[in-house]
Structure 1
Amino acid sequence: MIQLNLVVIKTSRQEEQVRFYSTIGITFESHRHGNGPYHYAATLDGLTFEIYPLPKGTTEPDTTTRLGFTVENLNNTLQRLEELGVETVQAPASTEWGYAAVVKDPDGRRIELVEQLIK
């Protein structure tokens, strides 16, 4: 069995990223491993999601990685994100994957948000 257990994004805007991802429902803790950089980490159902500073010598974050998250209430989440000034790239709509929208995080990564299906 293979399971994804770690996703790390690197940014020059750690605090903005933490605010963005906290707004969609992720709770972070500040971490540092040995002499490594301070960063933020969250555990999501067995997946560790981390926000690290950009490595020295790097000036631009990778914005080609697309992430997707399931949220409890898409419309409420979008409203809170809009209050932060977050750009909605794709308005909420029913799709084959559920009620979904796409927004941009503070670095410009496209983030897909899908409303949690009621079971």
Structure 2
Amino acid sequence: MSIHLNLLVIYSHHPEKSVSFYKNLGLEFNLEKHGNGPEHYACELGNLVFEIYPLLGETVDRAMRIGFNITNLDEVIEKIRSINGLIITEPTINPWGSRAVIQDPDGHKVELIENRD
């Protein structure tokens, strides 16, 4: 059996602010609308579609953690600092590479790993 994650959707009180935040990681989004559904933002990462939908009148689920492998951790951390973003865990070396944890505007923890070659 072969199984792959192909869709990840997060909900945001301020989708434009979240899109701006994730663009600092190097992601590119398109504005989309399907049928009668709400406008939302979508980013294709290989076979995975990462979407940010508007959240109306509900609480954001902050228990979920999102993770990205990136090639430029130090540069991304500096971009997050420049926008006064929250860095939960500073970059440290571990068996997977250099790792940091940041927080997006809605409180989702985002794990960043730069793999060691």
Scaled to the shorter chain, the TM-score interval is: over 0.9
* CA distance in structure 2 between the aligned counterparts of 1:110 and 1:48, rounded to whole angstroms: 19
User: In 2, distance between residues paired with 1:95 and 1:107?
Assistant: 27
Q: Following superposition of structure 1 onto structure 2, how do residues 51-70 of structure 1 map, counting pairs within 5 Å?
A: 51-54=52-55, 56=56, 58-70=57-69
Distance of 2:116 and 2:28 partners within structure 1 = 21
- Partners in 1 of 2:111 and 2:59 — Cα distance? 22
Is 2:46 aligned against 1:45? yes
Q: How high is the sequence identity, in percent, across the aligned residues? A: 40
Taking only aligned residues, the RMSD between alpha carbons, in angstroms, comes to: 1.1
Q: CA deviation at 1:68?
A: 0.5
TM-score by length of 1: 0.93
**Unaligned residue ranges in structure 1 (runs of 5+):** none
Which residue identity is paired with 1:45?
G
Q: Distance in 2 between matches of 1:90 and 1:24?
A: 16
What is the CA–CA distance in structure 1 between the aligned matches of 2:46 and 2:103, rounded to whole Å? Answer: 23
Alpha-carbon deviation of 1:4? 0.3
- Provide TM-score, normalisation by structure 2: 0.94
- Correspondence 1:110 to 2:109: yes
Instruction: Point out where structure 2 has 5 or more consecutive residues left out of the alignment.
Output: none
Aligned length: 116
